[in-house]
Amino acid sequence: MTRPLRDFPSLSDLEMSGRAFPQQIGNLLRSPMAMMPLWIVAGTALYTLGWSRLFEPFRLDTLAFLAIAALLFVALATTSRMEVDARPGASLDRWALTVIGVYFVGAYIENGGIPVIQIATGDDYDVYGFGVDGLHIFMLCFTGFYGVRAWHVFLTRGGMWNLAALAGIGGLLLSIGNRSAFSFLVFACAVVFVRLRRISAPVWAGVILAAIIFAFGFGKFGDFRLSYQIEQATGEPGAPDAVLALARATDGFRESGLSPSWLWTYMYFASPLANLNSAFNLSGGRPCGQECDVSAALVYDVLPDVIGVRLGAILGIADPATTDFLVAPNLTASTAFGTAVVAAGAVGGMMTLAFLAALGVMSARLLRDSPAGEVGMAILATVIFFCFFENMLVYTPLLGQLAFPLALAGYSRVRRRTRAQPPESALHPK
Q: How many CA atoms lie less than 13 Å away from 329 in the CB half-sphere?
A: 0
Alpha carbons 149 and 157: distance in angstroms, whole number: 12
Per-residue pLDDT at 391: 92
Q: Where are the domains of the chain?
A: 94-196
The pLDDT of 21-31, averaged and rounded, is 60
For residue 24, pLDDT beyond 90 = no
Average pLDDT over residues 18-41: 71
For range 262-279, the mean pLDDT: 93
- The tens digit of pLDDT for each residue in 38-90 reads 999 999 999 999 999 999 999 999 999 999 999 999 999 888 767 777 788 78
The C-alpha atoms of residue 43 and residue 385 are separated, in whole angstroms, by: 12
Residue 187: Cβ within 10 Å count: 18
Model pTM score: 0.86
Percentage with pLDDT > 90 across the chain: 45
CA dihedral for 98, 99, 100, 103, sign (positive or negative): positive
pLDDT at residue 8 greater than cutoff 50:
no
Q: Is the pLDDT of residue 402 over 70?
A: yes
Residue pair 343/359 in contact (Cβ under 8 Å)? The answer is no
In 280-336 the beta strands, taken as DSSP E runs, fall at none
Q: Which of 5-9, 180-184, 377-381 shows the lowest mean pLDDT across its residues? A: 5-9
Residues 376, 370 contacting (CB under 8 angstroms): yes
CA distance linking residue 251 with residue 32, whole number of Å: 38
Confidence bin at 424 (pLDDT 50/70/90): low
* Range name among 154-168, 169-183, 214-228, 414-428 with the lowest pLDDT average: 414-428
Residues in the chain: 430
pLDDT surpassing 70 at residue 3: no
Q: Contact at 8 Å (CB) between 219 and 262?
A: yes
Beta bridge partners of 52: 249
Q: Which residues pair with 328 in a beta bridge?
A: 331
Are 276 and 341 in contact by the 8 Å Cβ rule? The answer is: yes
Closest listed residue to residue 374, CA positions, set 190, 149, 167, 181 = 149
Sign of the alpha-carbon dihedral angle for 325, 331, 337, 340: positive
Cβ(249)–Cβ(54) under 8 Å? no
The predicted structure's pLDDT at residue 285: 82
Residue 349 pLDDT class (50, 70, 90 cuts): very high
**Is the Cβ–Cβ distance between 52 and 252 less than 8 Å?**
no
Stretch 91-118: mean pLDDT, rounded? 91
Tell me the pLDDT band of 241, cut-offs 50, 70 and 90: confident
Q: Are 273 and 69 in contact (CB under 8 A)?
A: no
Q: For residue range 174-232, what is the model confidence (pLDDT) as tens digits?
A: 998 888 899 999 999 999 998 888 777 787 788 788 888 888 888 888 888 788 778 77
* Residue predicted with more confidence, 239 or 356: 356
Give CA–CA dist 397/142, Å, rounded: 9
DSSP 109-123: HHHTS-HHHHHHTT-
How far is the C-alpha of 159 from the C-alpha of 163, rounded, in Å? 7
Residue ranges of E strands in 70-163? none
Say how far residue 364 (Cα) sits from the centre of its chain: 16
Return phi, psi of residue 331, to 5°.
-110, 95
Q: Are 124 and 160 in contact (CB under 8 A)?
A: no
- DSSP annotation of 251 reads H
pLDDT at position 198 is 74
- Mean pLDDT for all residues in the chain: 85
Separation of alpha carbons 359 and 409, rounded Å: 15
| Listed range (95-99, 187-191, 327-331) with the worst mean pLDDT | 327-331
Contacts of residue 82, defined as CB under 8 A and 6 or more positions apart, other chains included, come to: 30, 31, 32, 33, 364, 368, 377
Angle at 138 between CA 137 and CA 141, to 5 degrees: 85
Report which of residues 177 and 125 the model is more confident about: 177
Please list, in sequence order, all residues whose beta carbon lies within 8 angstroms of the beta carbon of residue 151, skipping any fewer than 6 positions away: 162, 166, 189, 192, 193
For 399, other C-beta atoms within 10 Å of its C-beta total 20
**pLDDT at residue 14 above 50?**
no
Name which of 294-303, 347-356, 398-407 the model is least confident about.
294-303
Q: How many CA atoms lie within 13 A of 400 on its CB side?
A: 18
β-strand partners of 166:
none
